[in-house]
Amino acid sequence: MKFIPLSKPYITDEIKKISKVLKSGWLTSGPKTEEFENKFARYVNAKHALAVATCTDALHISLASLNIKPGDEIITTPMTFIATSHIIEWLKARPVFVDIQEDTFNINPDKLFDAMTFKTKAIIPVHMAGHPCDMKEITKFSKANNLSVIEDAAHAPGAEYKDKKIGSLSYATCFSFYATKNMTTGEGGMITTNEDIKDKLQKLSYFGIDKEAYKRYDKKGKWYYEVDSLGYKCNMDSIHAAIGIEQLKKLDSFNKRRRKIAELYTEELEDTGIITPIEKPYVKSSWHLYIIRLPKSINRAKFIDNMAKNNVGCSVHFLPIHLHPYYRKKYGFKKGDFPVAEKVYENMVSLPIYPLMSNGDVEYVIKTIKRCLK
């Protein structure tokens, strides 16, 4: 009996493309990176894209590009991966959490106003599980209050909000190509934007130097550079970019398969006492995760354990950020601060979902769930 993991990458022609880059003699950022950026920008219909080493870096330098000062406040959701709030900490700013909507697990726009102070500079909404946030409300609020929006779209490449691809709606949108995400480069990330900030972001991604390395070392380029601002080091190399170009070609078919798997799950699990995930009529989810909520009578830890014993890998996304000891200690957060996120966390379980999953695999997972509920 094979194990059905939570997620698995789908790799085919990538191997040939990597070896081509390796033989080319140019390994770091270069024309391949630019090709990936251009193709990704076109895909999400954004003016610019900058490929970086991880989505965490994408979020970090997008926020840094706003000249965030120590003590500035950044609004985000507690229902996310630790990266979203750690990058706020890295810049010595303060994460201010706003509770989520129970049906989408996304930040609740109705609660933004109460979280705002004169120190608030930006909002980082997270498209949880690939279901886009209520961007109309978030955009309206940010415009009215002169705040920048940086979307954490780690789960949402290919997702749509009102027929528009996520990636063209805000100051900056950050994507992840981590091994488990909808498309992968192993590790990797991308920032897309319609603002003229690509040069600024590129500088931030490379020590504050304003020319890409490959142009500097090219015979046409200059050997001289100077640095007038602090930058980081998170450029994407050609090897990762070559993988990304191939994965992007398959992204729509990956997401189509994810949607099909989600439909199969929902059809079979609706009448079991489990709460199945929803999709609002004005969005198209990228179905990065399929998150169910268990009936009250079921012990989650035991359930996940039982599933694993039956060769099905499940997980939990996520322990709300404010309950991590680092944030509890630093800001005095406690249980009860964000009751909706906490309530959802208590019984949420992520089921396997990835394009390589066969219908037979899905049926097996469903059968196993039904058995483990008894």
Ligand X SMILES: *Cc1c(COP(=O)(O)O)cnc(C)c1O
- Catalytic positions: 181
- The answer to whether residue 185 forms part of the interface with ligand X (CB under 6 A) is no
Q: Kindly state whether residue 262 participates in binding ligand X, applying the rule CB under 6 A.
A: no
First to last CA, the chain: 22
> How far is residue 361's CA from residue 353's CA, in Å, rounded to a whole number?
10
Using CB under 6 A, which residues numbered 155 to 184 contact ligand X? 155, 176, 178
Kindly tell me which residue out of 29, 33, 56, 77 binds ligand X, with binding defined by CB under 6 A: 56
The reply on whether position 80 binds ligand X by CB under 6 A is: yes
202 near ligand X (CB under 6 A)? no
CA-to-CA dists, residue 291 to 10, 46, 201, 277, angstroms: 21, 30, 34, 6
Q: Name which of 64 and 269 has its Cβ closer to ligand X.
A: 64
350 lies in the site for ligand X, by CB under 6 A: no
Q: Which stretch binds ligand X (CB under 6 A): 22-30, 54-62, 231-239, 356-364?
A: 54-62
Residue 76 interacts with ligand X (CB under 6 A)? no
Q: Tell me how many residues contact ligand X (CB under 6 A).
A: 14
**Of positions 83, 98, 133, 321, contacts ligand X by CB under 6 A:** 83
146: left (phi over 0), alpha (psi -120 to 50) or beta: left
304 sits near ligand X (criterion: CB under 6 A): no
Q: Report the C-alpha gap between 123 and 62 in whole angstroms.
A: 12
Rule CB under 6 A: say whether 81 interacts with ligand X: yes
What does the per-residue mask of binding to ligand X show for 124-143, with x meaning CB under 6 A?
A: --x-----------------
The tokens of 178 are what? 């981590």
What does each C-alpha distance from 182 to 177, 186, 250, 259 come to in angstroms?
A: 7, 12, 10, 12
CB of 310 to ligand X, least distance (A): 26
Q: Which is nearer to ligand X, 37 or 268 (CB)?
A: 37
For 141, the enclosing helix (H) or strand (E) is helix 135-144
Q: Which of 66, 32, 15 is closest to 236 using CA atoms?
A: 32
Instruction: Say if residues 56 and 188 touch (Cβ distance below 8 Å).
Output: no
Residues contributing to the site for ligand X (CB under 6 A) = 54-56, 80-81, 83-84, 126, 152, 154-155, 176, 178, 189
